[in-house]
Amino acid sequence: MNAFRDLDDGQWAAVRGLLPRCGPGGPDYRSIVNGILWQQTGGHRWHDLPTRYGPWHRCAERLRLWSTDGTWQNILTTLAAVQYPAEGTATAQGEGAEAGTAEGAAGHGNTADYWNRPWLG
């Protein structure tokens, strides 16, 4: 299992606009998204969710709602695009020669399915 890292500021900026708007004092969507990703990428039980992500049931319920309306698939697709940009961009940034190719990017998770793999069973 890979160690999970919370979304960095660039990744969060890319997905923040995809989430439904809520009023002042609404939920902290960044911690909710990170909690969902923690659970999915590690294949952990919801009840084991670290407290920094908030109550496990809040994350699980948001995943259910966002999966139903397509928001979660949009988030995963956006994260895949941000994580591994189009061919040539990654190598220009010095991330290794294979990361800029289709094979290298696919092997490192350049798909929404990579982010969502525990649910694909």
Token pair of 77 as six digits: 């697709």
CA distance 102 to 25: 42
Give me the residue spans of the domains in the chain. 27-69, 71-121
Rg (the chain; Cα; Å): 15
CA distance 99 to 121: 26
- pLDDT truncated to tens, each residue of the chain (121 aa)? 457 789 999 999 999 999 988 777 678 899 999 999 999 988 899 999 999 999 999 999 999 999 999 999 999 999 998 876 654 444 333 444 343 334 444 455 555 665 555 544 4
Residue 21's pLDDT is 83
Residue type, 61: E
Residue type, 120: L
**Phi, then psi, of 102 in degrees rounded to 5:** -65, -40
